[in-house]
Chain A
Amino acid sequence: MVSVRSLANTPSSLTPNDLPWIIEHREDRCTLCGKCAAVCPVNTLKLAYMRKRMPHLVLAATERGSSYKTFVGIRQSTEVSKRCIGCGSCAMVCPNEAIHPVQNGERDRFRFVNSQQGEPAKRGGRRNVPGASLLDRIIFDRISMLTDPALDAGRHEFSCNTLLGRVLPPEEYVRRKLAGEWIPPVREIFPFVIGSMSFGALSPNMWLGLLQGVAYCNEVLGIPVVMATGEGGCPPWVLRSPFLKYIILQIASGYFGWDEIIRAIPEMQCDPAAIEIKYGQGAKPGDGGLLMWFKVSKLIARLRGVPEGVDLPSPPVHQTLYSIEESVMKMIQTMSMAWNFRVPVYPKISGSTSAKSVLNNLVRNPYAGALMIDGIDGGTGAAYNISMDATGHPIAANVRECYLDLCAQGKQNEIPIFAAGGVGKNGNVTQNGMALIMLGASGVHMGKFIMQSAAGCLGTESNRCNVCNIGLCPKGITSQNPKLYRRLDPDQVAQRVVETFMSIRTEVKKVMAPLGRSQSLPIGMSDALGIDDKDVAERLNIRYVC
C-alpha cells in the first residue's frame, strides 16, 4: 500500500471513468495539431507532456536498467467544472479522427459531486429522458379507405393553418358584426410555432437566421409561420420593421426589453402577431428567466436596460399581481389596449394540475386570446437540474384535460390551446405536434427542435452538451460571444428554417390525407389516435391499440 499523500484523494476526486463523457483518444492517429484542445468549450482537453519508462534487460552493471521516453498526448480533466460535456467539438475539428467523446455506460459518479461551492447543478437544454416519448408512441389509426377514399397529400389542396386569438361564439359574432361592434383580433398561423427563445438566450446570428427563415416562409412559400421572442425584447430595428408581424412578443416577470418595445410602438409599421405573457415555463416552473452574466453583452444590456455582465434572474411571478383574476384583468387588458385591441394577447403557463383553473378564468375574460401550456419536457436556456428533471407536468394529459373541459362548456373553438414541451424532442416533430393537435391543441410551440434542425444544436436526450446556460455554445446558437456565434451563418440557419417548415408542411399533409382530412386542421380528432398502453389510452380518452 502506498501512502495517502501520493493519491489525489478528496471527496470530490474523480477519474475519467466517473464522468458522464469519456474522451477516447487514439494516440497512434493524433497529429498533435492541438485543434481539439483549442475548440473545447469547457477546457477539458489538455495537451500534456508525459514521460514513460522503457524497461529493458541490461546485464552490464555499468548501465541503468531502464530508460525514459517523453511524449505529447491529450488528457481529459477530471475537475468537476471542466468535465467533458460530450459536445463532440473535438471530433468535429480533428483532422485525423483521433478523438471523440463516448458516453459513460456506467452510471457516472460525477452527479454526486456536482454541487461544488454549495451550488446545485444547473444546465441548459433539455430534460434528458432518452427513449421514445409518450407523444412518439401515439399513432394515427383511423385510416379512410373504401368508405372514404384517402386523399392525395401531393395533389389535393390542404388547409392546415390554425387560429390564434379569441374567437366569438357564432351567435355573438353575427350579432356584433351586424351591430358593427368590436371583434377580437384573430391570426391565421401555421400550427407549428417557433417557441419563445429570448434574444439574450440566442445569439444575434441565430436570431437573425430564424427571422430571415420565418420571413421567407411567409412571403415566398405562403406558410404563415410565426416565432415567439422570449423575455428580453427584440432588436430595435425589428420592432420598426415589417417583419414584426411574424413575431409574438413576450412579456415576462422581469419586463426586460419592454422599455424599447413601448418606445417603438408609435413607430411600428405593423402590429406584432401576438403578445405572450409568460407566467411560467415547462422546463422550470416557479422560476423566472435566468440569463447568466456570461451572456449579458453590451447589446443585450442595452435592450434590457441593465448594466453589462450581471446575472438577470427574473422573479418567479409578476410582482404586481396577486391572483389570476387580477392578472387576466390587468395584464391582458393593458397589453390589448397598448395596441388598441388589434393584437391577440394570451398567457403562457407551465404544465400543471392547476392549468384548468387558469383556463376557466381565461374563458370568462373576453380579451384572453389563447392559453399556451408548456409541459415538463420543455427546454430552457438555463435552469437548476432539479427543476428541469422533476418539476412540472407532462403536456399530453394537461392539454387533453383542458380541451375536454372546454368541450364540456362548448367553448373549444373560442380559446385556442397551444401546447409545448417535448414536441419533436426525438426528431418526430410532426407526429408529436399532430398528436397534440388531435388531443385538442390548436397548435404547438417548438424550441429545441428548431435549434437542432435549423442550427445543428448538439444537445440530445443523453445529456450531451447542455451548456446553453454558460454562453459557451460550441455551435454559436446560445452565446453572446462573437468568437462563438460567428461560427453560425444566419443565411444557412434561414435556409434550414425554410427546409424544416417545408418538410413539416408535407408531413402534416401526409398525416391528414389518410385520415380523410383536408379542409381543416383536425383539432380534437381524437378518434384517429391510438396508443399501445391501456392506462394512457384511458387517461387521454383515446383508443388502446396493439
Chain B
Amino acid sequence: MCRLAMKTASKPFSPFSVLEAMEAMQEGYDGSGLGLLLRGLEFAEYKYNAKDPILSGIAHSEAALARLNKIMIEAGFELKYDHEFDVKRQMIEAKDRFKYILRVYKQSATWASLSAEEVENRLMLTRLALRKDGEAHGQDLTVFSLWPDVAMIKEVGWPLGVGQALGLDSGRITSRICMAQGRQNTNYGINLYACHPFFIQGVATMTNGENTAFIPIKDWLSGRGFPGYIGYQSDSEVFAHILHYVTKQLKLPLETYKHVITPLKNEELAAHPQGDFLRGLRDACRRLIIDGPNAVIGTLPDETSMLVMDAKKMRPATVGGKPGEWAIASEMCGVDAMIPDRDRSKDFQPMREHTVIIPPDRQELQIWSQFDHLPIHQAA
C-alpha cells in the first residue's frame, strides 16, 4: 500500500517537510518512488509571477532537451527562469536523467486576447505535444505538467533520498501546497507517468489503493474525445480525470464529485432533497462509479484541497491542522510530522459519505456529507 501526504498552508513551506512526514509513515510503504506536486510556488532566486506557466518534466538526453526547446519556442513560449536542481547524481537510481526540468515560461503575447478556456486548452495541447514527442523517441522526454503555479517531480527511489538528491532540502523552492506520494506503480509496467499525483489542466489527485473498475472507466473517458484523457498507465489516473470532468466539463460544484464516483443507494436518494437530480446523474455518470478501496486526495487551481473515500472505506486517511495550515496523510503519524502543534482531538477521518474540503483561505475544514443539500441551481 502506498502512503500519501499533503500539506496546505497560507505561508509557503519547503516540500522537504512533507517528505519527512512520508518518512514517518515509512513502515507502510515500499518507498520505491516519489511523486510531488507543488502549488503556490516561491523561488528563492526568482520573483515568480503566478500567472506564468511552469513546465515540469525530465529530459533524458541532450537531444530531447533540444527538441523540447524547439517545440516550446515554436509554440511561442519564452523561457523566463530555468530552475537548476542541485542534483546529487550518485543518489539517483536511474542513470538516464539528463536534466530535471522546472522552468518558468512566459506564454505568447498573442494569447492575451484568448479566452481563459482556450489558453487552458493550448497549455494542455502543448504538454501533450511534448509528451507525444518523447514517446515517439523512446520515452526520452517525460513531461508532467505545464501550468501556471504548478510544479511536479516524479522519480524512482526512496522518497526522502530523492528529495535530498534533488536538493529539495535547501529551501530554494517553497510552496503553499505540497502533495507527495511514495511509490512507483506496482500493478502495471513501471513508468514515470504511472506515478501519482496525476495532473490535468490544474486539477490534481493522488490515490491510495486500487481501482478495480479501472477498465470500464478508462474506456468511457477515452471515448469523450477530449485530448487530455489519455495515458492511464495507472488505474488511479482516472480519479484526476473524473475530477476534471465533473468540475471543468460538467461545471458542477466540487461536492458533486463524490456523488459521481460513489453515488448514494436508491433508498438514500429517495430521502435526499435532490434525489431525483442525483439519481439521474448517477445513471448518466454510471461508468464513472469507482470500485475502491481508495482514498483520493485532490487539489484544484484555486488552491482548494479535498479528500474523499470510496464507498467501502477500506483505505485510511486522516486530516488535521489549524487555521492557515492543514495536512492530510494516510496515517496519523504523517499528520503529526507535518503539523505537530495542532489540536488532535479535531482530527477527522472521513467516512464513506464525506468530502473534506479545505478552501483556499485555509481558515477551516469543511466536512460535507452526501446526504446534505448540494449547492446547485434550484431546478435540480
* A-to-B contact residues, CB < 8 Å: 142, 144, 147-149, 151, 156-157, 159, 163, 167-171, 173-174, 177-180, 183, 186, 188, 407-413, 515-520, 522-527
Q: Is B377 part of the contact surface with A, judged by Cβ < 8 Å?
A: yes
Contact A413 B220 (CB under 8 A): yes
Contact B280 A183 (CB under 8 A): yes
* A173 neighbours in B (Cβ, 8 Å): 280-281, 283-284
B130 CB → nearest A CB, Å: 26
* B97 neighbours in A (Cβ, 8 Å): none
Question: In the bound complex, what is the Cα–Cα distance between A96 and B311 (angstroms)?
Answer: 60
B240 CB → nearest A CB, Å: 17
Contact B286 A520 (CB under 8 A): yes
Say yes or no: A519-B314 contact (C-beta < 8 A), given A144-B212, A412-B223: no
Say yes or no: A412-B291 contact (C-beta < 8 A), given A168-B284, A178-B379: no
B379 to A, closest residue via Cβ: A178
* B265 neighbours in A (Cβ, 8 Å): 157, 159
Q: Is B316 part of the contact surface with A, judged by Cβ < 8 Å?
A: no
B234 CB → nearest A CB, Å: 12
Question: In the bound complex, what is the Cα–Cα distance between A170 and B262 (angstroms)?
Answer: 16
**Which of A180, A516, A520, A525 is close to B379, meaning CB atoms less than 8 Å apart?**
A180
* A526 neighbours in B (Cβ, 8 Å): 215
**Which of A168, A407, A520 is close to B213, meaning CB atoms less than 8 Å apart?**
A520
Q: Is B250 part of the contact surface with A, judged by Cβ < 8 Å?
A: yes
B81 CB → nearest A CB, Å: 39
Contact B283 A519 (CB under 8 A): no
Contact A518 B312 (CB under 8 A): yes
Contact B225 A410 (CB under 8 A): yes
**Which of B209, B219, B250 is close to A148, meaning CB atoms less than 8 Å apart?**
B209
* A151 neighbours in B (Cβ, 8 Å): 312
**Which of A144, A518, A520, A524 is close to B215, meaning CB atoms less than 8 Å apart?**
A524
Which residues 198-252 of B have a CB within 8 angstroms of A? 209-210, 212-216, 219-220, 222-225, 245, 249-250, 252
Interface centre among B187, B213, B262, B291 (most CB of A within 10 A): B291
**Which of B214, B249, B266, B380 is close to A177, meaning CB atoms less than 8 Å apart?**
B380
Contact B187 A522 (CB under 8 A): no
B14 CB → nearest A CB, Å: 32
Say yes or no: A188-B266 contact (C-beta < 8 A), given A148-B212, A177-B380, A524-B215: yes
Contact B223 A409 (CB under 8 A): yes
Interface centre among A151, A167, A519 (most CB of B within 10 A): A519
Say yes or no: A517-B213 contact (C-beta < 8 A), given A149-B314, A177-B277, A410-B225: yes
A174 to B, closest residue via Cβ: B250
**Which of B187, B223, B293, B311 is close to A410, meaning CB atoms less than 8 Å apart?**
B223
Say yes or no: A524-B219 contact (C-beta < 8 A), given A174-B252, A413-B284: yes
Q: Is B49 part of the contact surface with A, judged by Cβ < 8 Å?
A: no
In the complex, which range does the number of interface residues on chain B fall in?
35 or more
A375 CB → nearest B CB, Å: 22
Contact B212 A516 (CB under 8 A): yes
Q: Is B287 part of the contact surface with A, judged by Cβ < 8 Å?
A: yes
Question: In the bound complex, what is the Cα–Cα distance between A144 and B187 (angstroms)?
Answer: 11
Q: Is B289 part of the contact surface with A, judged by Cβ < 8 Å?
A: yes
Interface centre among B216, B262, B281, B287 (most CB of A within 10 A): B216
* B252 neighbours in A (Cβ, 8 Å): 174
Contact B283 A147 (CB under 8 A): no
* B286 neighbours in A (Cβ, 8 Å): 163, 167, 413, 520
Question: In the bound complex, what is the Cα–Cα distance between A414 and B30 (angstroms)?
Answer: 42
Which residues 67-107 of B have a CB within 8 angstroms of A? none
Q: Is B41 part of the contact surface with A, judged by Cβ < 8 Å?
A: no
A154 CB → nearest B CB, Å: 15
Q: Is B366 part of the contact surface with A, judged by Cβ < 8 Å?
A: no
Contact A527 B187 (CB under 8 A): no
Contact A520 B289 (CB under 8 A): yes
B346 CB → nearest A CB, Å: 30
Contact B210 A144 (CB under 8 A): yes
A349 CB → nearest B CB, Å: 23
Which residues 249-271 of B have a CB within 8 angstroms of A? 249-250, 252, 262, 265-266
Contact B280 A519 (CB under 8 A): no
* B245 neighbours in A (Cβ, 8 Å): 170
Q: Is B65 part of the contact surface with A, judged by Cβ < 8 Å?
A: no
Question: In the bound complex, what is the Cα–Cα distance between A188 and B280 (angstroms)?
Answer: 11
Contact B216 A522 (CB under 8 A): yes
B344 CB → nearest A CB, Å: 29
Q: Is B285 part of the contact surface with A, judged by Cβ < 8 Å?
A: yes
Which residues 273-317 of B have a CB within 8 angstroms of A? 277, 280-281, 283-287, 289-293, 310-312, 314
Contact B291 A520 (CB under 8 A): yes
* A177 neighbours in B (Cβ, 8 Å): 277, 280, 379-380
A150 to B, closest residue via Cβ: B212
Question: In the bound complex, what is the Cα–Cα distance between A73 and B123 (angstroms)?
Answer: 92
Q: Is B61 part of the contact surface with A, judged by Cβ < 8 Å?
A: no
CB pairs A–B below 8 angstroms (16 shown): A163-B286, A167-B286, A170-B250, A177-B380, A178-B377, A178-B379, A413-B286, A516-B212, A516-B291, A517-B213, A518-B291, A519-B289, A519-B290, A519-B292, A519-B310, A527-B214
B216 to A, closest residue via Cβ: A524
Interface centre among B252, B290, B311 (most CB of A within 10 A): B311
Could you mark each residue 358-380 of chain B with 1 if its beta carbon is under 8 Å from any beta carbon of chain A, else 0?
00000000000000000001011
Question: In the bound complex, what is the Cα–Cα distance between A412 and B216 (angstroms)?
Answer: 10
Interface centre among B209, B223, B281, B311 (most CB of A within 10 A): B223
A191 CB → nearest B CB, Å: 13
Contact B215 A527 (CB under 8 A): yes
Contact B284 A169 (CB under 8 A): yes
A163 to B, closest residue via Cβ: B283
Contact A516 B283 (CB under 8 A): no
Q: Is B186 part of the contact surface with A, judged by Cβ < 8 Å?
A: yes
B264 CB → nearest A CB, Å: 11
Contact A170 B213 (CB under 8 A): no
* B281 neighbours in A (Cβ, 8 Å): 170, 173-174
* A179 neighbours in B (Cβ, 8 Å): 379
The 8 closest A-B pairs by CB, nearest first: A410-B223, A516-B212, A148-B210, A173-B284, A520-B289, A170-B284, A524-B216, A527-B215
**Which of B186, B219, B225, B280 is close to A147, meaning CB atoms less than 8 Å apart?**
B186
* B212 neighbours in A (Cβ, 8 Å): 142, 144, 148, 515-517
Question: In the bound complex, what is the Cα–Cα distance between A519 and B265 (angstroms)?
Answer: 10
A176 to B, closest residue via Cβ: B280
